[in-house]
Chains A and B, each alone.
Chain A
């Protein structure tokens, strides 16, 4: 009896020590992340309940949920939300589709394969600010742009792309930059496909088309999901491209840029801007829940001891 008791005590002590031994390596990253990402969030929550303009400095006043009431009344905020949704959805979908097609094109032997792949990944490596400036001034521009040179050469009138289609001007640059990223992920997926399964399909007499839709595509599914997930995480936060290409022109102000405009970008209404960002966070959490469900799909069945 006594022996059993001392054993169960020893086991408990051991398990506690083991649990801590497992936790310790995690702690620096966890604490750092909590301090840098969660603490500001709590501050935001507090600011959002106040009326607070710091340029020109005014005393902070507690106003409860007034800011939230205001922002839901704001047509501009609703427009910014809508712009964000359009921008993210179009950019993610187009870059995933294009990235998949290009990956399929690259996943076969042809002369200069490695070189073409190198050309294709380059846009992803380009600094977003540079990408925006190059496209705006050297592609879209009515005066200097290559596009308009071609259009004029074909006998049409020059077009001010950016002011005519502000949202699409941004989406195209985003797609240009993120297609290579999607392509890399899909390419890795294609290369991870077992050759014997494909051979079996061919022996079974499946057409290339059937092979693609019934074997390759299901195999690529987790890779596509990963691409959509990572793409969404980064694309919903797009700021640089908006700032550089349209500077928040009509129809292209997404939520990040909107919050910036109302606060450090010149509005200096920190209370109201904080309320905006809290709403964005809540919305992001809702979207993230879906995203994380995708993620848990990716982690399914994997359970290291």
Chain B
């Protein structure tokens, strides 16, 4: 078990000008579960593979514990990895799959078997030890892949979208089990996903990447309540935050005719600069349907049972604009209704370049 450190680490693929991962600086504590999240092409998998030794580090360094592993081959890094498609060796039994790494380390057979059985017990795989991967269900295969990682007792677990091949229900269930297992074993884990819900529910901290650049690495709650820029604000949260481009006037900022009350730190930042256009962000749960406020027409109602999301088309700067508003589960609103939208919580303001204004 060890901490992991990326120091100005970059990966530039041959023949490409733009780095796939650009000067990444990230410290991961011992025992922490850090999630790397971002859209496809954000460099999250590349960053993970740099740590695995499967991708060359062109600039900067990568440390595991005290060791600079930047130039070490994967074999020498004492890491275990769970792949998206599990990468189980098809010709070997479950037991052989799980014991393969130990066999490479020349661990005696008896000890090997003991450790495989122990891992199988943890993962509820004991009765499948003699099966081949092709005779297992998707969920069982996923557990074997996990087992192969934990048998080794490595310094770091690397997980590359390990749940994305499971069906939705199993994914949610396994997510919890996996987080629990990680906490019990206390092994430092770097976890890659494109699913922000997975990132938010599992990560002790979440690092958001975009175009190879780290945007923000924070606890999930901070990421949600204080996104550092427009991208993170829009990426984290489902349904996404309403983001509205608007002009700054002497009265402050407004959505349509609805003036916004801003945090003092934001208003002072607004006057301090010349920029006349900003982006206002409001999460759906911080908007409400009310009797007063900005009028609009309901175009879509998404009923999820416990809550519903109402899409309201309002007029903003002379053009139609859709706002998503959270409403009660048993809403009476239907398509075609004329409603009023009001703000019922914190708002975020981002400057033209995307960076957050104020606290």
Contact = CB atoms under 8 A, between A and B. Distances in A.
Judge A-B direct contact (beta carbons within 8 Å): yes
B71 interface: yes
A152 B71 CA distance: 81
Interface residues of A, number: 4
Contacts of B71: 10-11, 14
Contacts of A11: 71
A46 B70 CA distance: 53
Interface residues of B, number: 2
B174 to A, nearest CB: 29
B93 to A, nearest CB: 28
Contacts of B70: 7
Interface string A11-41: 1001000000000000000000000000000
A7 B70 CA distance: 10
A11 B70 CA distance: 10
A7 B56 CA distance: 13
A44 to B, nearest CB: 40
Main secondary structure of the interface of B (DSSP, over half): loop
A302 B71 CA distance: 27
Contacts of A10: 71
Nearest to B61: A7
Interface string B58-77: 00000000000011000000
A5 B70 CA distance: 15
B152 to A, nearest CB: 24
A170 B70 CA distance: 64
Nearest to A13: B71
A7 B61 CA distance: 10
A43 to B, nearest CB: 41
A14 B73 CA distance: 10
B57 to A, nearest CB: 9
A11 B71 CA distance: 7
Contacts of A14: 71
A211 to B, nearest CB: 33
A10 B70 CA distance: 11
Nearest to A15: B56
B5 to A, nearest CB: 16
A21 to B, nearest CB: 10
Nearest to B60: A7
Interface string B66-105: 0000110000000000000000000000000000000000
Contacts of A7: 70
A14 B70 CA distance: 11
Interface in A189-207: none
B59 to A, nearest CB: 9
Interface string B104-115: 000000000000
A7 B7 CA distance: 14
A270 to B, nearest CB: 50
A170 to B, nearest CB: 46
Nearest to B57: A11
A99 to B, nearest CB: 33
A7 B71 CA distance: 9
A164 B201 CA distance: 84
A8 to B, nearest CB: 10
Interface in A108-138: none
A10 B72 CA distance: 11
Nearest to B14: A305
Nearest to A18: B73
B250 to A, nearest CB: 53
A7 B62 CA distance: 13
B221 to A, nearest CB: 39
B135 to A, nearest CB: 25
A83 B70 CA distance: 62
B40 to A, nearest CB: 19
A11 B58 CA distance: 9
A240 B181 CA distance: 69
B279 to A, nearest CB: 40
A241 to B, nearest CB: 42
A14 B71 CA distance: 8
A16 to B, nearest CB: 13
A113 B242 CA distance: 62
A14 B58 CA distance: 13
A303 to B, nearest CB: 10
A65 B221 CA distance: 85
A65 B70 CA distance: 60
A99 B71 CA distance: 53
A14 B56 CA distance: 11
Interface string A223-258: 000000000000000000000000000000000000
A121 to B, nearest CB: 28
Interface string B196-236: 00000000000000000000000000000000000000000
Interface in A242-293: none
Nearest to A4: B59
B79 to A, nearest CB: 19
A143 to B, nearest CB: 58
B7 to A, nearest CB: 12
4 contacts: A7-B70, A10-B71, A11-B71, A14-B71
A-B pairs, top 4 by smallest CB distance, nearest first, are: A14-B71, A10-B71, A11-B71, A7-B70
Interface of B: 70-71
